[in-house]
Chains A and B, each alone.
Chain A
Amino acid sequence: MEVYLDNAATTKPRKEVIDAVVMAMELLYGNPSSLHRKGVEVEKSIKITRKVLAKALGCKDQEFYFTSGGTESNNIAIRGIVEANKRMGKHLITTKIEHPSVLNTFNELEEKGYEVTYLDVDNRGFISLDQLANSIKSDTMLVSIMHVNNEVGSIQPIGDIGKIIKQKNPKTLFHVDAIQSFGKIKFSLSSLFIDTLSISGHKVHGPKGIGGLYVKKGVKIKSIVTGGGHEMGLRAGTENVPGILGFGEAVKFLLEEQDPLISQMKALKVYLVEQLQEKINDIILHNGIDDRFAPHIINISFLGVKSEVLLHSLEGDGIYVSSGSACSSKKKGYSHVLTAMKLKDSVIDSSLRISISDTNTKEEIDYAVLEIKKQVELLRKIMR
């Protein structure tokens, strides 16, 4: 039995998505920039898909841009805002638990002379709104905070955060990395104080190599790739048409089914946690089953078991998960998120991330729990 429980890393494309990609490659192969009919029909299909994405995010069509994925979206947003708003100041704020596409971008800006405040998190992965409020200064140009953390699933209250930022300094811009939350948590940009927001196709059963960026109307942002003015001048390069249409298909599904999909994931998550807690001793759950956490991510330590070894053992049973540390004699393999949560080394060493999708079933969870129990007990005997 193959049980894929690494859906925070990537998801399996839906059948409808694959069909759309194939159709685009077979039929819609024209260049949307071409003047002839072959180009126009492709341009039209992109326009329709842009509407689907805008609807899903609650923004205007002209505020949504297709990119090559989450990493590029985060880079365009952060670098583009910093380039275009230099007069606003040199201070930037982010958190210690961001994805590397955000964190490493800020590290580089720091080397270039920007002042960066990295907000702490508590032992559950939440920032302190007080620390955020106190960090915002008159020269704070940009705040970048992820919506859902990809390792522990903590949800930052982006509604409250937006309000705090704009109250403290109306000029400060707010970027949200929503790559892990899109499709898992309902939100509408029309009611939030967000200036830019990133999403990705392959986290929602869409294709890899396609993502999106929302840029609120009026926000100054500079393109970081020069070229032929595609995507309203923000992201040059011939459009990834199969990717765009596949992404659109995945999001159409979300628009119709989001509520039942979320409750289905949540029910599976609760069931999985309860089963693990009931059947296996000495485990620590790093997140919770309440609404402060995303419905698809569980991060849990099986004390005394090196998680990468457990990961590979489970792989042997056809179960795929992620680990919080690499099996290395050197310390560098530790997760920066769990380290920021100030967990003990032995706890990080044994932490496993299990992430579910609406495509998983109760039978799969039962099988996974059974095998995890078996392997954990076996490994605990070996690892003294």
Chain B
Amino acid sequence: MKKVIIIRYGEIMLKGANKRFFEDKLVKHIRHAISDLGKPKVYKQHSRIYVDLENYDETQLIERIQKVFGITLISTAKKFEVDMDRIREEALKELQDRVNFDGVKTFKVISKRVDKNFPMQSLEISRDIGGYLLQNQEGIQVDVHNPDTVIYVEVREEAYVFSNKIMGLGGLPIGTNGKALLLLSGGIDSPVAGWMVGKRGVDIEAIHFHSYPFTSERAKEKVLDLAKILSIYVGEFKLYSINLLPIQKEINEKCPEEEATILSRRFMMMIAERVANKVNATGLITGESIGQVASQTIESLHVTNSAVAMPVFRPLIAMDKVDIIEIARKIDTFETSILPFEDCCTVFLPKRPATKPRLEKILRSEGKLDMEALIEDAIANMEVEKIRLGDI
């Protein structure tokens, strides 16, 4: 008998001709997600992916596999040669485990016969196993509507018995939907935004803006830590770091104080767009949410958005902070995000930022700056860091 992890994927089935491409991506991501734990066999078979458990730690493997986008359900099954006596025996052991460890009192059996040469039909198998379990285990009853546990029996080239179904994250495998560049700050929102877009199969790279030496080196470390957590989900990626300080100084010197924030944000967007073009990304991702801060009013968003031609994805746009925090907790970025180091220095925060900036006025302010030179300098001094899963 062998133990295997069965991985099922829902949405990929819809994709017709592309199915194989999607499945191959998924297999690759699963292999990557567990790469530092060892090299168990990962393979696809009849529209599922299997991982041979061998001597690997089941809990650790599942915890990793659960974080791969594109998976709907995960189970751990016993796999053995097709033989009705053996199936009965293994089903009983499975039920006894549930009784002893989880205290279940009611059950039902769901069977699936894929091998049509097998003499019994699905319902017959269920009835047979159900009867056998009732006879051989005391203190349990069948409940077809609301059972404490379900014993699944599958008859294929080999037989499978299992009783657990663990939810996956859903979504689509990374790399099946193009590439976008995430504007990653040290805050709560942007990692969540990157995670959400990544979940739709989009390849992610990230760009980060800082004001070193006005801001602490710890702020940089914090962003690196966030990027590493994100890479558990989206795989290896590159993090581009831009020092915004020279631009902030220039804005501070030549433009009205209340416009400082909105002008810096436009610079960030313009720089991000150019970097995105260089790395073949066709969209930008931000963690903006309507009304969260002065620079995220509808008017400000309009002015920021006008800085670029590329589509900007804002998955959090209509979400409340509490809901964003809930996801941040779920994906484990929250604790890192709330560390007190700020990445873009508060020195340049205007006392009364413009909440309803007008584009013409902002453009006039930009006219006072040598935009092209400032942007080119910033990109020329850009630093690149490769974010790898194994570095955590």
Given contacts A312-B214, A315-B213, contact A328 B257 (CB under 8 A): no
Interface residues of A in 159-216 (CB under 8 A from B): none
Interface residues of B in 216-238 (CB under 8 A from A): 216-217
Task: Name the A residues within 8 Å of B213 (CB-CB).
Answer: 312-313, 315-316
Interchain nearest-CB distance for A304 vs B (Å): 11
Task: Name the A residues within 8 Å of B216 (CB-CB).
Answer: 308, 312, 327
Interchain nearest-CB distance for B52 vs A (Å): 46
Task: Name the B residues within 8 Å of A333 (CB-CB).
Answer: 340
Total count of chain B residues near the partner, CB < 8 A: 16
Binding site secondary structure of chain B: loop
Task: Name the B residues within 8 Å of A306 (CB-CB).
Answer: 346-347
Q: Does A27 touch B at the CB level, under 8 Å?
A: no
Q: Is B252's CB under 8 angstroms from A327's CB?
A: no
Per-residue contact bits, chain A 301-331, to B (CB 8 Å; 1 contact, 0 not): 0000010110011011000000000111100
Q: Does A383 touch B at the CB level, under 8 Å?
A: yes
Cα A329 to Cα B257 in complex, Å, equals: 17
| A interface residues with partner B (beta carbon < 8 Å) | 306, 308-309, 312-313, 315-316, 326-329, 333, 379, 382-384
Given contacts A326-B340, A328-B346, A382-B347, contact A312 B249 (CB under 8 A): no
CB closest chain-B residue, reference A327: B346
Q: Is A329's CB under 8 angstroms from B346's CB?
A: yes
Binding site secondary structure of chain A: helix
Cα A328 to Cα B218 in complex, Å, equals: 13
Task: Name the A residues within 8 Å of B346 (CB-CB).
Answer: 306, 327-329
Cα A306 to Cα B213 in complex, Å, equals: 13
Cα A328 to Cα B340 in complex, Å, equals: 7
**What are 17 A-B pairs with beta-carbon distances under 8 A?**
A306-B346, A306-B347, A308-B216, A309-B347, A312-B213, A312-B215, A313-B214, A315-B213, A316-B213, A327-B342, A328-B340, A329-B349, A379-B347, A382-B249, A382-B347, A383-B347, A384-B252
CB closest chain-B residue, reference A308: B216
Q: Is A309's CB under 8 angstroms from B345's CB?
A: yes
Cα A332 to Cα B340 in complex, Å, equals: 10
Q: Does B212 touch A at the CB level, under 8 Å?
A: yes
Task: Name the B residues within 8 Å of A328 (CB-CB).
Answer: 340, 342, 346
Question: Could you list 13 further interchain pairs (A-B, Cβ under 8 angstroms) beyond the known A312-B212, A313-B213, A316-B213?
Answer: A312-B217, A313-B214, A327-B215, A327-B216, A327-B342, A327-B345, A327-B346, A329-B342, A329-B349, A333-B340, A382-B249, A382-B252, A382-B253
Cα A384 to Cα B254 in complex, Å, equals: 12
